[in-house]
C-alpha cells in the first residue's frame, strides 16, 4: 500500500525526508491521503520552510527505512482527527521549527563530525506572539 511522505530535494544527493522530534523520538509522517500531505507541505511553506515534494512510497519500504535509520514511522490515516497536542503535530507543523537555512551544509558537517542535530532557533518578543497568532489562524483552516 502506498503512503505519502514529504521529501526535500527528491532524487538528488542531498535528498532529505521531513521528520518531527516528539519526546525524544524522531517521527516520519506517512500520510494515507495525498491531499493531507500536500496541505502539510503548504503549511511548512507558509512557515518559510523549504518546500517539500509529496512522494508516494510503498509503506513497507518506508517503514523498513525508518527502522534502519532509528526513526519511528507514524501513519496518518485519511480523515485523522487529533485527540491531543501531540496528535495535532500529525496534521500541522509545530510552531517552532529547526533552522533549516543551511540543512545541506549541516548534513555534510554531521556526516564528517558525527555531531548532533542543531538546536532550534530562539524566538522572542512580539514577533513570536505574532507567529503564534498566525499559527492559530492557520489551524482554523
Q: Which of 62-71, 107-116, 131-140 has the lowest mean pLDDT?
A: 107-116
Q: Write the CB contacts of 118 (distance below 8 Å, at least 6 apart in sequence).
A: 98, 99, 106
Share of the chain above pLDDT 70, in %: 67
Output the pTM of the full model: 0.65
Cell of 49: 520552510
* Alpha-carbon gap, residue 34 to 79, rounded angstroms: 12
On the question of pLDDT at 120 being above 60, the answer is no
pLDDT digits over 39-60, tens only?
999 988 888 888 899 999 999 9
Q: What are phi and psi of 130, to 5 degrees?
A: -65, -40
Q: Cα–Cα–Cα angle for 60, 64, 67, nearest 5°?
A: 135
Alpha helix stretches (DSSP H) within 2-124: 34-46, 59-69, 85-88, 103-113
Amino acid at each position: 500500500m502506498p503512503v505519502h511522505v514529504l521529501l526535500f530535494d527528491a532524487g538528488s544527493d542531498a535528498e532529505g525526508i521531513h521528520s518531527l522530534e516528539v519526546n525524544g523520538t524522531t517521527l516520519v509522517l506517512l500520510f494515507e491521503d495525498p491531499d493531507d500531505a500536500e496541505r502539510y507541505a503548504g503549511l511548512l511553506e507558509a512557515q518559510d520552510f523549504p518546500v517539500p515534494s509529496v512522494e508516494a512510497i510503498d509503506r513497507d519500504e518506508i517503514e523498513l527505512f525508518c527502522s534502519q535509520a532509528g526513526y519511528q514511522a507514524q501513519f496518518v490515516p485519511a480523515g485523522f482527527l487529533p485527540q491531543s497536542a501531540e496528535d495535532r503535530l500529525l496534521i500541522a507543523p509545530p510552531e517552532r521549527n529547526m533552522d533549516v537555512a543551511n540543512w545541506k551544509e549541516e548534513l555534510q558537517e554531521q556526516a564528517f563530525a558525527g555531531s548532533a542535530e542543531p538546536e532550534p532557533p530562539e524566538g522572542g518578543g512580539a514577533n513570536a506572539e505574532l507567529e503564534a497568532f498566525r499559527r492559530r489562524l492557520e489551524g482554523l483552516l
